[in-house]
């Protein structure tokens, strides 16, 4: 009888690396936001120049809508957005460390949603660092999708190969013979 070779469960260390990346991003975003409070004028000038581009009409409308809906100014909106991104990175990192499926989906969806923006930015201002970040993001999303598929395959194989043990027949009580 030939032995069927089953798929192996994916290793855990890539998830830990992705989680560490999320923690580093949260820490870096926190540090940058604290540093930029001291350099507010140059950063605001850069943001004004960026928003003034003819291609940023959508971003401008979304930001205006958010400011109006929340009833806050530009500076407060920027703080809220930074806090939201820090929170998302921390939630994703903790979820990945605990091996939660929802965290893997959060990372995949969040990563894939930003890919068109990265492509657009590269088309308008190409830099090699953007290519590097794009390739890493594609790799992370692809790996997590592959990992979720592999775990599903392993689970299915285990269900198929486990032979249910039938309970031993219980002896029936002897009937008295007359």
Q: Would the pLDDT of 3 be above 70? A: no
Q: pTM for the whole thing?
A: 0.65
Q: What percent of the chain has pLDDT over 70?
A: 72
pLDDT higher than threshold 50 for residue 165: no
Give the model confidence (pLDDT) of 49-94 as tens digits: 555 555 556 666 776 777 777 777 777 777 777 788 888 889 999 9
* Mean pLDDT score of the chain: 78
Query: Can you tell me the distance from the alpha carbon of 105 to that of 84, in angstroms, rounded to the nearest whole number?
Result: 18
Measured between alpha carbons, how far is residue 83 from residues 31, 69, 74, 128 in Å? 12, 18, 14, 29
């Amino acid at each position: 009888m030939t032995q069927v070779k089953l798929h192996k469960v994916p290793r855990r260390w890539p998830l830990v690396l992705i989680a560490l990346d999320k923690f580093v991003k949260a820490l870096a975003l926190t540090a940058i936001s604290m540093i930029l409070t001291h350099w507010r004028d140059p950063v605001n000038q850069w943001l004004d120049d960026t928003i003034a581009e003819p291609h940023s009409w959508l971003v401008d409308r979304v930001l205006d809508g958010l400011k109006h809906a929340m009833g806050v100014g530009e500076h407060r909106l920027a703080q809220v957005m930074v806090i939201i991104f820090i929170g998302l990175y921390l939630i994703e990192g903790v979820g990945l460390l605990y091996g939660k499926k929802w965290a893997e989906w959060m990372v995949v969806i969040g990563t894939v949603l930003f890919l068109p923006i990265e492509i657009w930015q590269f088309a308008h201002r190409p830099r090699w660092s953007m290519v590097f970040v794009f390739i890493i993001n594609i790799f992370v999303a692809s790996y997590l999708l592959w990992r979720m598929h592999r775990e599903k395959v392993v689970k299915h194989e285990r269900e198929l190969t486990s032979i249910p043990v039938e309970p031993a027949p219980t002896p029936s009580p002897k009937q008295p013979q007359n």
